[in-house]
Amino acid sequence: MTLIVNDDFIRKCNFKGRGGKENEVISCFSNNLIKENGILFDCIDIDTKKKYEFKKQKNDQWLDPSKFFNLSEDDKQITMVFILYDKNSGLCDMIATISLGDLVKTTFTNEHLESAEKHVKRFPKDQIKSSIKIRDLVKNNKDHVKIIWKQ
């Protein structure tokens, strides 16, 4: 089972502004989702036990590659959900999903992940972030990315 988009809600939800809005994001889906603060995921579907990480952006998404070094098979199955919205209106224009394993495989080299992880271990107060353009990720990885809703 995949995410079921609450079409009426998603069309009205304004994603403009900084951070937060977790409850609104979860309400965009009709699944039985509960908020969970995992290192790599935001919520779990109570019925399927599937884990989801939600990212709402216009396009640019910053990710910490040190978190993705040596992912477990279970972690690779986490579904990354990108809620993309228009910069002017703040309204969602697309929702795309990809497994965390496929995202990491298409975005980072193993050398990049290992280097980031070593750096964070050596300097634990540092944060490492890498930028990805989500709209390009969707366009260039149609074999891995699934568009589940589009305005």
Cα→Cα distances 109→46, 76, 112, Å:
33, 15, 5
Nearest Cα to 97, choosing from 35, 55, 136?
55
Q: What are the pLDDT digits (tens) for 87-104? A: 999 999 999 999 999 999
How many residues are given for the chain? Answer: 151
Torsion of CA 67, 143, 81, 127, to 10 degrees: 20
CA-to-CA distance for 102 and 20, rounded, in angstroms? 26
The answer to whether 63 touches 110, Cβ cutoff 8 Å, is: no
Place of tokens 């497994």: 99
What are the residue boundaries of the structural domains of the chain, listed by start?
7-150
Model pLDDT, residue 21: 72
Question: Kind and range of the H or E element at 98?
Answer: strand 92-99
CATH 3.40.210 fits 7-150, yes or no: yes
Report, as an integer, the average pLDDT of 6-29.
Answer: 86
CB under 8 Å to 21, separation ≥6 — which residues? 15, 56
Model pLDDT, residue 18: 66
The answer to whether 128 touches 116, Cβ cutoff 8 Å, is: yes
**23: confidence class by pLDDT, cuts 50, 70, 90:** confident
